[in-house]
Amino acid sequence: MQPTKPESSRRTIWYREPAETWVEALPVGNGRIGAMVFGDPTDERIQVNEETLWAGSETDRINPDARENLETARELLLDGEHEKAEPIVEEHLVGDPMRIRPYQSLADLHVRHAGEPVDESRRALDLTTGIARTEYERDGALTVREQFVSTADDVLVVRVSGDEPVSTTISMTRQQDARSGCRGENELVLRGQVIDLPDEEAGEGGRGVGFEAVVRVLDADSVTADGDRLRVEDSDEFTLLLAAETTYDGRDPTDACRDALDVASEYSYDDLRERHVREHRQLFDRVSIDLGESDPRPTDERLEAVERDGLDPDLAALYFQYGRYLLLTSSHDCRLPANLQGIWNGEMEPEWESDFHLNINLQMNYWPAQVCNLSECVDPLVSYLDDLRPSGRRTAREHYGCDGFVVHHATDAWGTTTPVWNGAVWPMGAAWLCRLLWDHYEFTGDEAFLEEQAYPIMRESAVFLLDYLVENDDGSLVTVPSNSPENRFVTPSGYESLYCVSPTLDVQLLRDLFEHCLEAMDADAVPESDDELRAELSDALDRLPPLQTGRHGQLREWLHEYEEADPGHRHISHLYGFYPSDQLTIRRTPELADAVRTSLERRLEHGSGNTGWSRAWFVSQYARLEEGTAAHEHLEELLGTYTTANLFGIHPDFETGEPIFQIDGNFGGTAGIAEMLLQSHEGELTILPALPEEWSSGTVEGLRARGGFEVDVRWDDGVPEYVHVRSEDGGTCRVRTGEGAELERVETVAGEIVSFDQDADHVVAFETAPEGEYRLQYR
Q: Are residues 363 and 408 in the same domain?
A: no
**Gap between the Cα atoms of 444 and 461, Å rounded:** 22
Domain endpoint, select from 678, 707, 737: 678
Confirm whether 516 is domain-assigned: yes
**Gap between the Cα atoms of 504 and 585, Å rounded:** 16
Domain endpoint, select from 262, 285, 308: 285
Q: pLDDT at residue 757 above 80?
A: yes
Q: Picking from 365-369, 377-381, 404-408, 655-659, which range would have the lowest pLDDT averaged per residue?
A: 655-659
pLDDT at 37: 98
> What's the 3-state SS for 241-284?
EEEEEECCCCCCHHHHHHHHHHHHHCCCHHHHHHHHHHHHHHHH
Confirm whether 500 is domain-assigned: yes
- The closest alpha carbon to 481, from 459, 503, 463, 511, belongs to 503
Exposed (0-12), middle (13-18) or buried (19+): which is 208, by Cβ within 10 Å? Answer: buried
**Gap between the Cα atoms of 441 and 438, Å rounded:** 5
Tell me how long the chain is. Answer: 779
Q: Are residues 125 and 210 in the same domain?
A: yes
Q: Are residues 564 and 630 in the same domain?
A: no
pLDDT at 2: 53
Q: Are residues 566 and 424 in the same domain?
A: yes
pLDDT at 761: 85
Q: Picking from 249-263, 681-695, 748-762, which range would have the lowest pLDDT averaged per residue?
A: 748-762
Helix (H) / strand (E) containing 667? helix 664-677
Q: pLDDT at residue 457 above 80?
A: yes
pLDDT digits (tens, 9 = 90+) for 180-234: 999 999 999 999 999 999 999 999 999 999 999 999 999 999 999 999 999 999 9
Q: Which residue range is the domain that position 726 belongs to?
A: 685-778
Q: Are residues 369 and 398 in the same domain?
A: no
pLDDT at 562: 96
Confirm whether 596 is domain-assigned: no
**Gap between the Cα atoms of 117 and 247, Å rounded:** 42
What mean pLDDT do residues 75-82 have?
98
pLDDT digits (tens, 9 = 90+) for 535-591: 999 999 999 999 999 999 999 999 999 999 999 999 999 999 999 999 999 999 999
Task: Kindly report the CATH number assigned to the domain that includes residue 738.
Answer: 2.60.40.1180
What mean pLDDT do residues 455-476 have?
97
Residue type, 650: I
Any alpha helices (H) in 445-503, and if so which ranges? Answer: 447-449, 455-468
Q: Are residues 291 and 258 in the same domain?
A: no
pLDDT at 529: 78
Confirm whether 765 is domain-assigned: yes
The pLDDT confidence band at residue 527, using thresholds 50, 70 and 90, is confident
The pLDDT confidence band at residue 8, using thresholds 50, 70 and 90, is low
Q: Are residues 217 and 125 in the same domain?
A: yes
Cβ contacts of 477 within 8 Å, gap of 6 or more? 469, 470, 471, 540, 543, 544
Task: Kindly report the CATH number assigned to the domain that includes residue 183.
Answer: 2.70.98.50
Q: Are residues 693 and 672 in the same domain?
A: no
Furthest-apart CA pair in the chain: how many Å? 83
Mean pLDDT of the chain: 96
Number of domains making up the chain: 4
Rounded to whole angstroms, what are the CA distances from 108 to 46, 277, 313? 6, 25, 36
What mean pLDDT do residues 12-41 have?
97
pLDDT at 657: 83
CA triple 344-350-355, angle to 5 deg: 75
Q: pLDDT at residue 494 above 80?
A: yes
Q: pLDDT at residue 1 above 60?
A: no
pLDDT digits (tens, 9 = 90+) for 82-133: 999 999 999 999 999 999 999 999 999 999 999 888 889 999 999 999 999 9
**Gap between the Cα atoms of 757 and 52, Å rounded:** 53
pLDDT at 6: 52
Question: Under a CB-based contact definition with an 8 Å cutoff, are residues 69 and 90 in contact?
Answer: no
Domain endpoint, select from 537, 561, 580: 580
**Gap between the Cα atoms of 414 and 209, Å rounded:** 11
Q: pLDDT at residue 328 above 90?
A: yes
Q: pLDDT at residue 632 above 60?
A: yes
**Gap between the Cα atoms of 214 and 261, Å rounded:** 8
Number of H helices, E strands in the chain: 20, 32
Q: Are residues 407 and 556 in the same domain?
A: yes
Q: Are residues 358 and 396 in the same domain?
A: no
Question: Under a CB-based contact definition with an 8 Å cutoff, are residues 460 and 404 in contact?
Answer: yes
pLDDT at 525: 75
Q: pLDDT at residue 290 above 80?
A: yes
Q: Whole-prediction pTM value?
A: 0.97
Q: pLDDT at residue 347 above 60?
A: yes
Confirm whether 190 is domain-assigned: yes
Question: Under a CB-based contact definition with an 8 Å cutoff, are residues 572 and 617 in contact?
Answer: yes
Confirm whether 144 is domain-assigned: yes
Q: Are residues 434 and 558 in the same domain?
A: yes
Q: Are residues 324 and 471 in the same domain?
A: no
Residue type, 520: A
Confirm whether 626 is domain-assigned: yes
pLDDT at 401: 98
Confirm whether 667 is domain-assigned: yes
